[in-house]
Amino acid sequence: MGKKGKNQYLYSISCAQCAAFVMNYRKGGKGALLRCFVEGIESPEKLAAYKQKANSKEDLDNLCCPQCDCLMGVPMIYKDGRLAFRMLNGYFHKKLIK
Ligand SMILES: [Zn+2]
């Protein structure tokens, strides 16, 4: 579970093609979503489980829509060593939940 700072926002990420739910993601700040850190993924369980299971980039699958299989993110390691998905602009929508 990531730390809940004051500058944290929960977003619902969905597929831009078919609108299917992809994940709930806790993000610092309200800026553009360039990457999703694994530690910020709250659901679904399949993706949130990466927090326990993934130790390297090779442990992550591409981030795809569960319904239409559209690719929307690729595994990466951020400069500080954290695992993340590099998000493909235009292939997802994000909606602020809280
Ligand atoms: Zn889709």
- Provide the pLDDT for residue 6: 76
Nearest residue to 46 via CA among 33, 61, 35? 61
Query: Cis peptide before 44, with omega less than 30 degrees from 0?
Result: yes
Distance 14 CA to ligand 1 centre (A): 8
Q: Mention every residue, 6+ apart, whose C-beta is less than 8 A from residue 80.
A: none
Given a cut of 50, the residues of the chain with pLDDT beneath it are 1-2
Distance 71 CA to ligand 1 centre (A): 9
Distance 66 CA to ligand 1 centre (A): 7
- Provide the pLDDT for residue 1: 46
Domains and CATH numbers, the chain: 8-96 (2.170.150)
In DSSP terms, which residues pair with 86 in a beta bridge?
A: 35, 74
- Provide the pLDDT for residue 4: 54
**pTM score:** 0.91
Distance 6 CA to ligand 1 centre (A): 32
Distance 98 CA to ligand 1 centre (A): 23
CB-CB contact of 26 with 40 (8 Å)? yes
